[in-house]
Amino acid sequence: MAKREDEIQGSLHAGGKNAASGRDDVSFVETEGRLQPLPEAAERNIVLRAEGLTKTYAAVPGAAGRGVLELFRGLDLAVYAGEMVAIVGESGAGKSSLLHLLAALDKPTAGEVWCGRRRLSSFSAGQAADFRNRDVGYVWQFHYLLPEFTALENVAMPLLARGMGRSSALERARVWLGEVGLAERAEHRSGELSGGEQQRVSLARALVTEPTILLADEPTGDLDQKTAEAVFGLIQRLHAAHGLTSVIVTHSLEFAGRCGRMLRLREGRLEEAEV
């Protein structure tokens, strides 16, 4: 059993809990299926902000190589506590790369990303990993569940990675599987779950550490329309129920329109878009 716990603890890469601005209770109203923060939410603290963000990649030499690639230049962003912000844009515009910067998975070429008063580019590798394990819940387009472990063990991994005891971690993981409607699938491995169930497990894994921030990169991109609708509705419900601050990258204008604010990434800049 100890060996198995060591395997689980050594397998995790992300997670998340508070620190940015303290968790205030955030109230929401629903209008025509879209979550809307109440007016006072706009006066709350900025949880995430990017200032003058630039990201470039060096040229690739050779006959078939490419020149210098510039994704953003002077990009600014402010995300307020309790907001659910959608980012849309064409393929290759840099949406995923922007999320990586917001999660301290990468560093900008120039400019800064701040979470509260903390400058992410100043983090060491260990500090960045701790930030992702305590402040940020990250959901990828593909679920990235580890096939040799059960759904329950996959969800518990962020807690085990931070040193929580196995029984406590599994107990909390079981609660979060219930939150996403999969309590009865706790002992199933990922290969025994449907695509929608796998993504719901990954959502539970992202939120089991009770983060302040949810970053989701095309969380419904690999799902059929009916399943995608169910998963996005679940994200909306959890966002409101747990007072999250969420940034969702999506190719779906329908889903983006159900967020409180929509931003379009175009030619290296973010611009407000009508929802």
- Please tell me the CATH code under which domain 2-273 is placed: 3.40.50.300
- Taking the C-alpha atoms of residue 58 and residue 106, their distance in angstroms, rounded to an integer, is 15
pLDDT (0 to 100) of residue 63: 61
For residue 41, with 0-12 CB atoms within 10 Å meaning exposed, 13-18 middle and 19 or more buried, which class applies?
A: middle
pLDDT (0 to 100) of residue 186: 96
Residue with tokens 């387009």, as numbered in its chain? 141
Q: What is the pTM of this model?
A: 0.81
- Taking the C-alpha atoms of residue 93 and residue 100, their distance in angstroms, rounded to an integer, is 14
Residue with tokens 């196995």, as numbered in its chain? 166
Residue 223 sits at φ, ψ, to 5 deg, of: -115, 155
Question: How do the pLDDT tens digits run along the chain, 275 residues long?
Answer: 444 444 434 433 333 334 333 333 334 444 444 444 444 444 578 999 999 999 988 877 766 667 778 888 899 999 999 999 999 988 888 899 999 999 999 999 999 999 988 999 999 999 999 999 999 999 988 888 999 999 999 999 999 998 999 999 999 999 999 999 999 999 999 899 999 999 999 999 999 999 999 999 999 888 889 999 999 999 999 999 999 999 999 999 999 999 999 999 998 889 988 76
pLDDT (0 to 100) of residue 58: 83
Q: Are 87 and 265 in contact (CB under 8 A)?
A: yes
- Domain ranges in the chain are 2-273
Alpha-carbon torsion (196, 156, 26, 248), positive or negative:
negative
